[in-house]
Amino acid sequence: MKKFFALFLALTLFFGLAACEREEEEKEHAQGITDTEILVGNTAVTTGDFGFVGAPFVAGMEAYFTMVNNDGGILGRDVRLIHYSDGFDADQGGTYTQRLVEEDEVFAMVGHFGTPTVAATQEYLNTLGVPRVYFATGSTTVSTPSAEGGQRASFPIQPTYEFEGEMMVARAVANFEAETIGLMYTGNEVGLEIRAGMERKATELGVTIVEAQVAGTDHDSEALAMVAADVDVVVLGMNQGPAVSSLFALSGQGNTVPVLTSYVTADGSFIGFIHPTLLSFDIYANAWVDLLDTYGEFRDAYLEFQEEIAKENPEYVENTFAIAGWIAAMTFVEGMQRFDEDDAITWENFIELMEAEVFDYDLGPPIDFSDGQRLGTQIMQLLQMRYDADDEVGYFDIIEGMQSIDEVLAD
């Protein structure tokens, strides 16, 4: 009996150890990595006031992942995007983000969307160390020159709003010879961070800023303050919706000086909302995505992407927000393609591979994540909005190519 018990115990320990070893092998990869799939998550607004931004953005991501999967996927695995629409609401975005991580068990958040959701979930995701590739926001909460700990899993690409604020002052001075700059801004992260960047650069360059914070949809008094102050340029530090109200208000109050808007407005779909105001003053926008007809080595891939998105969403062909979704998906895929067949696909290994080489796209500036750099884009274009009243078509002219702030001021 004792021998039988000893043998039983030995066999139990043997099979227990073997089971543990098999379990360890199964857990070699991080969550969201199966033999056939790589699960990624995204929560973004696709309906309502900001749906014209989020819907093409998500469609761009899905179109690119479809292209990758049709070409054999990544290491024999298809990329599957799990998406929830959060209504641009921080609480809802936080709930969906937690569901993606803890219930859907995605490997990474790709195209983490919107300032409210990003701000509400940043600490949570940093604590867990979940990889995030591309933030559809310019919030400075995702930016640092030397990321440590969980923030190393954060990979911003868009410019931050503070950087854009500095660029706006540089453009106002260099392109419009401004000595007094008017700033209409919202009291949220977008407006306050653009304001902070502008104030910093204005102090450095010795120019004056006349400020007016807007709220609601009636911006007439703030627009009148800009006209009364006789500013040389008006900057709008705000998202698309408030920008529409401010542009109509400026037109109604007789503004004639140029108006410079954020890169969030740099798409033809935005021009459709404000074309009557183009009759009274020129409107400009920053841009970090280059939509010239020459795309270098990415031209064929870009044209293939446009063909793919046209199959399901022809209205999003050449849409800037869809292209941003493509860039988000493309960056994630390139990072994953740096794995070898025998590598353990873990969060830490993914972070190291993302930091290993520069991401170089002809559609936008190179992005370097090495040494903890998490700064996003540091060069931008200047576009001028145009509107063809006969054909009722809005479009952009490129006034200045991709430049850093130092290059703008040097010119």
Average pLDDT of each block of 10 consecutive residues along the chain (411 residues)? Answer: 39 43 59 97 90 92 95 96 94 96 98 92 95 93 92 94 97 97 96 97 98 97 98 96 95 96 88 78 90 60 87 90 91 96 96 94 81 93 86 84 94 78
Model pLDDT, residue 363: 67
Model pLDDT, residue 11: 38
Q: How far apart are CA 106 and CA 92, in angstroms?
A: 18
Model pLDDT, residue 37: 97
Return the closest-CA partner of residue 185 out of 142, 119, 234, 258.
234
**Rg of the chain in Å (alpha carbons):** 24
Model pLDDT, residue 13: 41
Decide: helix, strand or coil at residue 63. helix
Q: How many CA atoms lie within 13 A of 177 on its CB side?
A: 0
Model pLDDT, residue 297: 63
Model pLDDT, residue 8: 36
Torsional class of 271: left (φ above 0), alpha (ψ -120 to 50), beta (otherwise): alpha
Indicate the burial class of 294 (C-beta count within 10 angstroms; 0-12, 13-18, 19 or more): exposed
Model pLDDT, residue 278: 72
- Span(s) in the chain for CATH 3.40.50.2300: 37-159+292-372, 162-287+380-410
Has domain 162-287+380-410 been given CATH number 3.40.50.2300? Answer: yes
382 touches 402 (CB < 8 A): no
Model pLDDT, residue 395: 85
Cite the beta strand spans of 276-379 per DSSP E.
283-287
Q: How far apart are CA 26 and CA 237, in angstroms?
A: 49
Q: How far apart are CA 122 and CA 106, in angstroms?
A: 16
In this structure, the number of other CB atoms found within 10 A of the CB of residue 16 comes to 10
CATH of domain 37-159+292-372: 3.40.50.2300
Model pLDDT, residue 124: 96
